A and B are shown apart, each in its own frame.
Chain A
Amino acid sequence: MTPVNHLPAIQTGDGHHPTVPMGRAVSVYVWQYPLRLVHWGIVICIAVLSVTGYYIHDPYIVGQVNPFLMGEFRFVHEVFAMIFIALFVLRMYLFFAGNRWVRWRSYVPYRKQQFREMVEMAKFYLFVKPEPVSKIGHNALAAMSYVGLYAMVFVEIVTGLVMYNVLRHSAILGFFVGWVPRLISPPNIRLIHFCLMWIFIAFGILHVHLAMLVSREEKKGLMDSIFIGYKVIPEEDLKKDDELYSKLP
């Protein structure tokens, strides 16, 4: 594998920060717009749900004049929870219907190559290796962490729906989640729901840090790609991908 840094690059003067790789580079449409919608939707949802959810857990505004304060916090929480569920369902659909970098095959670790990649990436994070594993889509370690994240999102959704149904008594919802309180007591369901929120916040911080780090190292426009969808892939990298390379003009 040839990292981008080894391509000839324009030197900006300090000798450390080559900007645009020279040679042939191609813009590849990696993150389709539904995926970006899911990504930014989840960011907004987690932010809103964390703020409102923390209020529901521990009402930090007490005795104000608004006669429906808790009611409004709960309303916003429930509305955004429904949007969150819709985004989760859309993401699950994309695991089977999205492009090659979005499909489940590039997420679920089942090949030896993926496990090797994880070790290489961990070495980069632990300052053992200078270069990150540079991929067009996700590296295997990142991909696996997103599988873990979606698993936790699923648990968060189920626990949320259980608590919602305690108030709603919906027969349809009860059919799907009614068995949960028989296994886990309602206060523990609440505890799981609350603890996962903190894990999501910690994940968000870690995610932004590592994305910036890798983006800075591999210089393929990783940070830009989640806004615009395109990554700049050098021709050298494309050569390893016969299908993509054959499409090159």
Chain B
Amino acid sequence: MLSQDLELKQALAKRGITRRQLVKFCSGVLATLALPERYLAQTVAAVGKARKPVLVWLQFQDCTGCSESMLRSSHPDVADVVLDLLSWEYHEVIMAGAGGHATAILDRVVKEEKGKYLVVVEGAIPTGDDGVYCTIGGHSAMEIAETVCRNAAATIAVGACAFDGGLVRSNPNPTGALGVHEAVPGIKVINMSGCPHNAANTAAVLVHYLTFNDLPALDQYNRPLFAYGRIIHDQCERRAHYDAGRFVTEWGDEGHRKGWCLYKMGCKGPVGTFNCPIVQWNDHTSWPVRAGHGCIACAAPRFWDHMSPFYERVPNVPGFGVEVTAGEIGVGLVGATIAGVTAHGLIKMIKPVPKPEPAAETTPQQGREN
């Protein structure tokens, strides 16, 4: 049976999760959402009383990295509690059912929970050639997304691919892949961009939905502001090195060993927005810049195309090949100008054009006729 009338509190108790653990989890979520502490009681009550909403997790053109990220989520309790917060009915990677049994569950959710369930989409949706590049159970990704997302209360697009097509859509995009909000326009969608999404943020969005029955405040790309409202650079632990002019100039040099700023190595922290430096990854252990690698702005729109080359400060100038930097072209331009100006001046000095005699003061045309 689909609907479980158990209240969440009971479900959690059954799993051996105490009220203390629930309060702890809710405090963590409140901190991630940047909500004041006075919402704690409300959140705990809402989460405890909630009738488990149904959630389905769709996968299209993806690498399952976002599912992996969700399953190995960093907060000790997130995986457990989120799995228990919601009635997770359909998820190709982790569900036991297969074939017709699995698709029957999806059909039943769409029919019985119409307008009430949540959908998480992972992966891009191919639209080229009628969507033949991704089909599940005889239906194209396009058809499945159209049916499942249209009938849902809200859609959560996790990862770069579901956000805007990600790697699949990057140039030359042979399958015509699109993100969810472009492939299925007009639906209520929240984008959790990033490659992969950060499970802590997605859990926070789910809890926000359970508590307030609404999605958190969004930015211009429909991403929650609490996670995508600030640039990496402003939150970075290496920012002091940037301000002081201490930069890594070569991989493995002294500055790199001392943990200096990766700006010169092409770090995209100054343009990428995400809460990576605060929430971090793998049990709050580390994040790319702490590990000594520059940010690639994986949460930015179309980052594969727009943020590459990942190890250069600025992109290459089109038409000059990959070995020539914009700086070299600029120096060349100025050098050529100096050379040209010098040559022009020299010619002017050496070879003065003969001036017409003041007597023959006629227009050039008349002069030729004469």
Contacts and interface: CB of A to CB of B under 8 A. Distances in A.
Contact of B314 (A5, A125, A128, A191): A191
Interface residues of B, number: 52
Contacts of A209: 341, 344-345
Interface string A200-229: 011001100100010000000000000000
Interface in B228-247: 231, 233-234, 242-247
A58 B313 contact: yes
B103 to A, nearest CB: 38
B326 A195 contact: yes
A125 B344 CA distance: 8
A2 B362 CA distance: 10
A70 B245 contact: yes
Nearest to A190: B314
Given A57-B327, A187-B268, A191-B315, A206 B341 contact: yes
A70 B244 contact: yes
Interface of A: 2, 5-6, 57-59, 61-64, 66-71, 73, 125, 127-131, 166-167, 178, 182, 185-188, 190-191, 194-195, 197-199, 201-202, 205-206, 209, 213
A187 B334 contact: no
A197 B268 contact: no
9 contacts: A62-B255, A62-B264, A128-B353, A186-B300, A191-B314, A191-B315, A197-B330, A198-B333, A201-B334
Interface in B2-33: none
Nearest to B243: A71
B317 interface: yes
B307 A187 contact: yes
B329 A198 contact: yes
B353 A130 contact: yes
Contact of A69 (B245, B336, B347): B245
A125 B307 CA distance: 43
Given A57-B314, A130-B356, A205-B337, 4 more contacts: A69-B243, A127-B347, A186-B300, A191-B315
B268 A178 contact: no
Nearest to B338: A205
B355 A5 contact: yes
Contacts of A167: 231, 233-234, 270
Contact of A166 (B231, B264, B337, B352): B231
A222 to B, nearest CB: 16
Contacts of B268: 187
- Consensus secondary structure, chain A interface: helix
Contact of A6 (B220, B315, B338, B358): B358
Question: Ordered nearest first, which 5 A-B pairs have the shortest CB separation?
Answer: A198-B330, A69-B245, A185-B306, A186-B271, A130-B353
B64 interface: no
A61 B245 contact: yes
A106 B347 CA distance: 31
A58 B328 CA distance: 12
B361 interface: yes
A78 to B, nearest CB: 14
A58 B353 contact: no
Contacts of B351: 127
Interface string B340-370: 1100110110011111101001000000000
A191 B317 contact: yes
Given A6-B361, A59-B264, A205-B341, A70 B243 contact: yes
Contacts of B242: 70
Nearest to B244: A67
Given A185-B306, A202-B337, A62 B314 contact: no
A187 B338 CA distance: 29
Contacts of B302: 185
Nearest to B340: A206
B306 A68 contact: no
Nearest to A74: B243
B135 interface: no
A215 B307 CA distance: 48
